[in-house]
Amino acid sequence: MEPILFLAHTEPDGTLAHSALESLAAAISLGGPLTVGVVGAAVDATARQIASCGAVRFLVVEGEAFAQSRYSTDAEAVEALCRAAGPSLILAPHTARWARAIPGVAARLNGRADTHATGIAIVNEVPAITRWFYRQRMEAVLTRSPRPWFVLLESGCAAAWNGSAGEVEIERLEVATGPRSRVTGVRAPQTGEETIRPEAKLLFVAGAGWTKKQTDGASHGERAEQLILGFLHGSHASLGSSKSLVDQSGEGQSVLKCLTHLNQVGQTGSTPRHPKGLSTCCHGEEPHVVGWRFITERRAINLDANCGWARGKADVVYIADAFEVMEQVNRLLAH
């Protein structure tokens, strides 16, 4: 098997993210000689965290300059790690930071990079990755002959490595960094609280029904928002939405302020991976068929017993008023 470099960057608290541990497990499963490469402000704790992973070398690029996600410094660091380790296959978690820096490094080293891989395995004695195309409708198995080959693995596709911590011998690489930009703050579209939680056990999907006129002839957007946020606080679920609901802000209708287009699931939204899903007030084909196709156990609450997509795609459908159900659920969660 070819020599492998597992690449990780530290989180602000100095540890590795769950998605990095998943990529590490995928790298180990290939069985080749493994080198670990870590980039961050301080990496000792990170190296200790994965000390027993079986890597033959632990290479690090450390320093304040590598604390922030920044193309120039990240690319310098990754290039140095690759030149020192000499791998033919490089595996890294598909974080925003690596997605920005790694394709450029692949170009510098005359290699190739594949992003959004959902798995990697040895097929006919060569590494092969799986990747979805056309909005998750077709899955391809890809191999490549040029090396080095950089593969960014999506989270949620492998069980995370969970070996024990220990002591390791670290090789520190000196990387000179030139003048660089500085991140002074982050402006995100989400102005309220963070409702997208990729590692949550449950995805709660809100549909446009939450803002529609109810049996009393009025709509209750504010109440809907309280119920949804109350549920998120109590359950720590992640919040998804149908397109109709997030689009309403553009039409000047009653909107849920906690939602942005980033919450949208479906054909033109995201396809998150959570063990469980609960769709509420949602009828659409795209959210049900594409949006939560990777959700393992699915339930829906809809007033309409004939809602074909909820019936067809959910394991359990509650024919009920979501306002009443979530009110009750929140009361139970509060206890």
Binding site for ligand FAD (CB under 6 A): 207-209, 212, 214, 242-245, 264, 266-269, 281-287, 291, 301-304, 307, 321-323
CA distance 289 to 162: 33
Nearest CA to 22 out of 134, 170, 123, 151 is that of 151
CA distance 12 to 268: 32
319 close to 220: Cβ distance less than 8 angstroms: no
Both tokens assigned to 53: 């992973």
In the complex, the smallest distance separating the C-beta of residue 81 from ligand FAD, rounded to whole angstroms, is 38
Which residue's CB is nearer to ligand FAD, number 88 or number 226? Answer: 226
In the complex, the smallest distance separating the C-beta of residue 40 from ligand FAD, rounded to whole angstroms, is 36
Beta strands, E only, 134-211: 138-142, 149-153, 170-172, 202-206
Backbone angles phi, psi at 241, to 5 degrees: -145, 155
Which residue's CB is nearer to ligand FAD, number 127 or number 209? Answer: 209
Which residue's CB is nearer to ligand FAD, number 243 or number 313? Answer: 243
DSSP single-letter state for residue 325: H
Give the residues across from 153 on adjacent strands. 93, 117
Which residue's CB is nearer to ligand FAD, number 25 or number 208? Answer: 208
138-142/126-133 β-pairing:
antiparallel
In the complex, the smallest distance separating the C-beta of residue 201 from ligand FAD, rounded to whole angstroms, is 22
Which residue's CB is nearer to ligand FAD, number 48 or number 212? Answer: 212
In the complex, the smallest distance separating the C-beta of residue 261 from ligand FAD, rounded to whole angstroms, is 10
In the complex, the smallest distance separating the C-beta of residue 21 from ligand FAD, rounded to whole angstroms, is 30
Q: How many residues does the chain have?
A: 335
Which residue's CB is nearer to ligand FAD, number 37 or number 269? Answer: 269
> In sequence order, what are the residues at sequence separation of 6 or more whose Cβ sits closer than 8 angstroms to the Cβ of residue 293?
136, 271
Q: Where are the alpha helices (DSSP H) in 155-247?
A: 221-235, 243-247
Which residue's CB is nearer to ligand FAD, number 68 or number 219? Answer: 219
Both tokens assigned to 67: 């604390």
In the complex, the smallest distance separating the C-beta of residue 176 from ligand FAD, rounded to whole angstroms, is 46
Which residue's CB is nearer to ligand FAD, number 38 or number 265? Answer: 265
> Residue 34: which H helix or E strand, with range?
strand 34-40
DSSP states along 248-269 = GGGGT----TT--GGGBBSTTS
Which residue's CB is nearer to ligand FAD, number 94 or number 288? Answer: 288
In the complex, the smallest distance separating the C-beta of residue 319 from ligand FAD, rounded to whole angstroms, is 9
In the complex, the smallest distance separating the C-beta of residue 237 from ligand FAD, rounded to whole angstroms, is 17
In the complex, the smallest distance separating the C-beta of residue 233 from ligand FAD, rounded to whole angstroms, is 21
- 148 cis-preceded (ω within 30 degrees of 0): yes
CA distance 228 to 323: 9
- Hey, CA dihedral for 322, 324, 330, 335, is it positive or negative? negative
